[in-house]
Amino acid sequence: MKLHWSPKSPYVRKVMICAQELALVERLELVRSVAAMLKPNARLMQDNPLSKIPTLVLDDGFALFDSLVICEYLNDLGQGTLFPRQSAERWQSLRWHALGDGLLDALILWRNEREREVPLKGLIDAFELKTQACLKQLDDEAQALNEVPFSIGHVAIGCALGYLDYRFDAMNWRANAPRLAEWYAETRARPSFETTEPVDG
Ligand SMILES: N[C@@H](CCC(=O)N[C@@H](CS)C(=O)NCC(=O)O)C(=O)O
């Protein structure tokens, strides 16, 4: 299987973490693909018209995209438990995934905006407000995160916090979310997180 990949993308990271947790990394052929909103990538678009990474191309040429879809595919392939089947656990996990992924989406838009010559203050303020609200919610739920088996929800939240450290270092998010910080300290020590820390270059 071929994975359109980059070492910096937090969405790709979700896939790599799942692949490691499921012992499937060796099955992936990583293809370094640059995806930038302002520069659609013609080669990538042959597999994904949205020009986004991650994109997973199966051996028969069928391409899967959106990180959640790829993660669930890998989970099925590896007969894993990252997507709980029981309904209460399942909805909790998918809800946490939505919270982590939604935070990530807001942070990426925020970073794009702040890099413009004249950022729109109203938008920056809204991203900041939503980010703080997500962190507060997650801090309140840190105990619950600890109490259930590691799942796709944990993967997405961990990747969003990793992205905060990588691109929003100055925010010092841990100061207002100490319980979440404690949960994250343990989570980032998992080999799947340690080996996928975003790197420049
Ligand atoms: N919802 C998508 C988001 C993927 C995404 O936006 N990836 C970024 C890289 S971090 C990208 O490909 N951006 C290029 C673009 O938006 O044109 C997923 O979960 O896979």
- What is the distance in A from the centroid of ligand 1 to the CA of 82? 22
Span 78-101, pLDDT tens digits:
999 999 999 999 999 999 999 999
Span 59-75, pLDDT tens digits:
999 999 999 999 999 99
Q: What value does the mean pLDDT take over residues 133-155? A: 98
What's the half-sphere exposure (Cβ side, CA atoms, 13 Å) at 193?
A: 18
Radius of gyration of the chain (CA): 17
Q: Any idea what the Cα angle at residue 143 is, between residues 140 and 149, rounded to 5°?
A: 130
Ligand 1 nearest-atom number relative to CA 108 = 10
- What is the distance in A from the centroid of ligand 1 to the CA of 113? 16
What region does 200 belong to: left with phi over 0, alpha with psi -120 to 50, or beta? beta
Q: What value does the mean pLDDT take over residues 141-149? A: 98
> Does the C-beta of 55 come closer than 6 Å to ligand 1?
no
Which pLDDT does position 200 carry in this prediction? 78
Span 10-22, pLDDT tens digits:
999 999 999 999 9
**199 — pLDDT class (breaks 50, 70, 90):** confident
Rounded Cα distance between 129 and 140, Å, is: 17
Chain-wide mean pLDDT for the chain?
A: 97
Which pLDDT does position 201 carry in this prediction? 64
Instruction: Name the residue with the closest Cα to ligand 1, atom 17.
Output: 37
Q: Say if CB 7 and CB 64 are below 8 A apart.
A: no
Span 182-194, pLDDT tens digits:
999 999 999 999 9
Ligand 1 nearest-atom number relative to CA 52 = 12
- What is the distance in A from the centroid of ligand 1 to the CA of 66? 8
Q: What value does the mean pLDDT take over residues 45-56? A: 98
Report the percent of the chain where pLDDT is more than 90: 99
